[in-house]
Chains A and B, each alone.
Chain A
């Protein structure tokens, strides 16, 4: 549905976007994830037509978008500030774009009501924009874009102005809405949980470049490099010595985990025999009493942080240069493990992933 071909957006010598290429499928919920200044908003605005690539091209539904202004593109946008027209009521806001299409009055009214129903705002059509809550404004912005039946809906940080609870509720609703209407959604966000929860696929961006494009689970479990791994959540990094490099896999020796054979990441470069392995804190499991596992390490708890449903343990293990962090649910009493206690941890060698730096 969207083809981004080698797109660069340069301002003088600074490149907001640097030779980005991307392909977004029809009906896909796609997220552009990254820290501020990574170029995600620049890319979204170029798809919408508010900005133009310095080089490269953007195709929507097979059509090159070069020189096509925003008002003639088959995309619609939900703005970060929502940009609800304050001099119009809800109905007039939603009907704003339809006015250009010369529909019959009855048809226009029907489509406005349908759009309002889709975002659960039926009956609020006569409300003034000034009388709406933040969540309602967001729904109006959605309805106003959806009523245009765009081929692609672009969402620029649509949930960032909402409080935590409403944000989580809207994540579910947005995902559901996308599945109902079936059109391509492109979401810009800096919130990794939002991206993981809603998307079919995610592109993680840093410094104007796309670092990795994959499904949420793969991005989280198999990040290509330390930057991506870090951005998506906590990870224990372990130094390793390269033993053998194959076409698809590498074999390494680590001080704590011993010899490990793992999938070779695409961006991997053998760096003088050194490698980095990573394991997520929740992939380390506390072994209770005389429970044993085929792969385990033993150490001592040196710090503990309580987070309600989980506890975060910092465990010192002989042979590791840095303490391991472990998250454990509190179902079995991880919050009662005293600091200083000896502890054994089980791990799955498959959860250890090789990372490019």
Chain B
């Protein structure tokens, strides 16, 4: 019994700290070696430099990839969020037959081996006569993003008190006015959060982009290509660091919006104890 107490008191927090270190250390090595003068990532560090970053804007292929990633990310985020809104609203507001299986199907890409999803889409898109392009990548990314978008939005829509919309109608507002003045402001943070999360996932996604793209590549596919050349590793580390920083900033913003959404819906429902 005392042993277990000690475990809870000392060992568990220590283990948690160790685990977080295991999660973060490898990732944090990227920024560390991206400012190291040596061309290979090894200890001891040689010296501080920003030259790997300075080279980045002078690589046209990289700039193209960045532009492609941006286009794909924005399109995928918008489409996935629109489709996510439909699904999340239907699930939180209505009861309908086969609700669970439908929800399971929409969430399925999350738990299927990505490569199988990717090659399946590849076959169908090719047989439909579509040539591989950024458009096909967007379609693949929307499929991968919807489960996340739907999860974020469902959490935001849940607890949305239906009587708020009724109150608005009761006070003379039309259906459209109610949507604009009550529904939208209430769920806006969740929508923004969904957009940010979807964009980040698209930005970082590799498998779908690898299989479904034609000649135009996204950033992860570009990085994949660069990894064959050992000499390119430092600049890949620099690029990876930027991508990492971008992702973390976007996700922190998404988390802030998610919390705001949570506060809104919680505030709306009075504690009926």
A and B touch in the complex (CB under 8 A): yes
A188 at the interface (CB under 8 A from B): no
Number of interface residues of A (CB under 8 A): 31
Structural contact, B161 and A81, CB atoms closer than 8 A: yes
A77 at the interface (CB under 8 A from B): yes
CB proximity to A under 8 Å, residues B139-167: 161, 163-164, 166-167
A165 at the interface (CB under 8 A from B): no
Cβ 8 A contact of B169, one of A71, A129, A137: A71
A338 at the interface (CB under 8 A from B): no
Residues in B neighbouring A70, C-beta threshold 8 A: 166, 169-170
Structural contact, B264 and A79, CB atoms closer than 8 A: no
Structural contact, A161 and B167, CB atoms closer than 8 A: no
Question: B64-72, B103-111, B177-185: which one contacts chain A?
Answer: B177-185
Given A70-B166, A100-B177, A130-B263, A81 and B269 contact (CB-CB distance below 8 Å): yes
Residues in A neighbouring B168, C-beta threshold 8 A: 85, 96
Given A96-B181, A129-B267, A137-B270, A83 and B166 contact (CB-CB distance below 8 Å): yes
Residues in A neighbouring B263, C-beta threshold 8 A: 130
Structural contact, A83 and B169, CB atoms closer than 8 A: no
B186 at the interface (CB under 8 A from A): yes
Q: Bound complex: CA of A130 vs CA of B164, how far in Å?
A: 14
A313 at the interface (CB under 8 A from B): no
Report A207-228 CB contacts with B as 1/0, cut-off 8 Å: 0000000000000000000000
A72 at the interface (CB under 8 A from B): yes
Given A79-B167, A82-B270, A87 and B173 contact (CB-CB distance below 8 Å): no
- Mostly, the B contact residues are helix
Report A92-135 CB contacts with B as 1/0, cut-off 8 Å: 00001100110000000000000000000000000001100010
Report A148-169 CB contacts with B as 1/0, cut-off 8 Å: 1000000000000100000000
Q: Bound complex: CA of A315 vs CA of B172, how far in Å?
A: 58
Chain B, residue nearest A154 (CB): B170
Report the tally of A-B residue pairs with Cβ distances under 8 A.
Answer: 79
B226 at the interface (CB under 8 A from A): no
Residues in B neighbouring A101, C-beta threshold 8 A: 172
Cβ 8 A contact of B268, one of A86, A100, A145: A86
Structural contact, A97 and B169, CB atoms closer than 8 A: no
Structural contact, B169 and A81, CB atoms closer than 8 A: no
| Most A Cβ at <10 Å: residue of B163, B269, B272 | B163
Q: Bound complex: CA of A129 vs CA of B167, how far in Å?
A: 15
B174 at the interface (CB under 8 A from A): yes
Structural contact, B169 and A86, CB atoms closer than 8 A: no
Given A50-B166, A83-B164, A130-B263, A161 and B171 contact (CB-CB distance below 8 Å): no
Structural contact, B268 and A97, CB atoms closer than 8 A: no
Residues in B neighbouring A86, C-beta threshold 8 A: 186, 264-265, 267-268
A84 at the interface (CB under 8 A from B): yes
Chain A, residue nearest B167 (CB): A83
Chain B, residue nearest A160 (CB): B272
Cβ 8 A contact of A81, one of B174, B182, B272: B272
Structural contact, B170 and A76, CB atoms closer than 8 A: yes
A353 at the interface (CB under 8 A from B): no
Residues in B neighbouring A134, C-beta threshold 8 A: 270-271
Chain B, residue nearest A97 (CB): B171
Structural contact, A69 and B264, CB atoms closer than 8 A: no
- Shortest A51–chain B CB gap in Å is 10
Report A47-85 CB contacts with B as 1/0, cut-off 8 Å: 011100000000000000000011110011101111111
- Shortest A125–chain B CB gap in Å is 17
Cβ 8 A contact of B164, one of A76, A77, A85, A148: A85
Q: Bound complex: CA of A129 vs CA of B265, how far in Å?
A: 12
- Shortest A92–chain B CB gap in Å is 10
- Shortest A310–chain B CB gap in Å is 29
- Shortest A183–chain B CB gap in Å is 15
Residues in A neighbouring B177, C-beta threshold 8 A: 100
Structural contact, A148 and B171, CB atoms closer than 8 A: yes
- Shortest A10–chain B CB gap in Å is 20
- Shortest B195–chain A CB gap in Å is 19
A40 at the interface (CB under 8 A from B): no
Residues in A neighbouring B181, C-beta threshold 8 A: 96
Structural contact, B163 and A81, CB atoms closer than 8 A: yes
| Most B Cβ at <10 Å: residue of A81, A82, A84 | A81
Residues in B neighbouring A75, C-beta threshold 8 A: 170
Cβ 8 A contact of A161, one of B161, B163, B272: B272
Residues in A neighbouring B265, C-beta threshold 8 A: 86
Structural contact, B172 and A144, CB atoms closer than 8 A: no
Q: Bound complex: CA of A70 vs CA of B265, how far in Å?
A: 24
A-B pairs with lowest CB-CB distance, top 8: A97-B171, A83-B167, A86-B267, A83-B163, A130-B267, A70-B169, A86-B268, A79-B163
Other A-B pairs, 20, CB within 8 Å; known A71-B169, A75-B170: A70-B170, A71-B172, A76-B171, A79-B166, A79-B167, A81-B269, A81-B270, A81-B272, A83-B161, A83-B164, A83-B167, A85-B164, A85-B167, A85-B168, A97-B171, A100-B173, A145-B171, A148-B171, A161-B270, A161-B272
Can you sample 6 A-B contacts with CB below 8 Å?
A50-B166, A71-B172, A77-B166, A79-B167, A80-B163, A87-B186
Chain A interface (Cβ < 8 Å from any Cβ of B): 48-50, 69-72, 75-77, 79-87, 96-97, 100-101, 129-130, 134, 137, 144-145, 148, 161
